[in-house]
Amino acid sequence: MEITSPRPLLRWSLYLAAAALVTLIGVHLLPGSGGVDPVRDLMSEYPVRTAEPGVAYTLALLGANLAVVLLGAHWVRDGLLRSRPVATALLALWCLSLLGLTIVLKDPVGSPGTWFGTVHMLCTVVNFVSLPALCALLWWRHRGDSRWRSHARTVGVIAGLTMACVVPFAAVLLADSGPGSLSESALGLVERCVVVLDVVAIAALARWSRASAIMTPGRG
């Protein structure tokens, strides 16, 4: 197989994504959800509170990030994001912010705020906004194109649902200043809804990119 073939990228991205999803689901199926309340607590509490689930969670996010980087490289070269610098920048921002919130830990609930926690919080907000922004951009550009109207509508709906979760999440997260107040909300459940929608968005974009590579001459 030629080195320039996109198939190894797609294959490895699928393996990494599957492993990441299985790991994240497995962490939530541990007794007591691995020591983190799935309704009130953010998933980033795993590496702060527990050892083994925290390591598994961190590796899952790193794997998911690498999977999307590989997918994005294929999309830029032969698929949906080819010759679309703004959309490519939004996907890159999503990947960078995911890496940032993975390696920079949040402040434990009730502890004094640190700059590490601030960086983590900002990365979280950027991560939650950048992917729906990418989907909304693609929807806006292709909503009237008969070839891609169905794909555009799908990612547009996903963007709308995600932002419906992100806006209250970001508002509470950025406004929080009292120790322990985050644990009194349902931010954990909202965050998990956003993560699920992100997974659906990536899958929808991959499907669209595959159709674009097939239908557009000179691609893939």
| CB-CB neighbours of 70 under 10 Å | 21
Q: pLDDT higher for 85 or 2? A: 85
Q: Average pLDDT of 86-91?
A: 95
pLDDT in tens, 28-70: 988 887 888 888 888 988 888 878 889 999 999 999 999 999 9
- What are the sequence ranges of the domains in the chain? 7-215
Strands (E), the chain: none
Give the sign of the dihedral formed by CA 179, CA 44, CA 198, CA 74: positive
Query: Is the pLDDT reported for residue 2 higher than 50?
Result: no
pLDDT band at 174 (very low <50, low <70, confident <90, very high): low
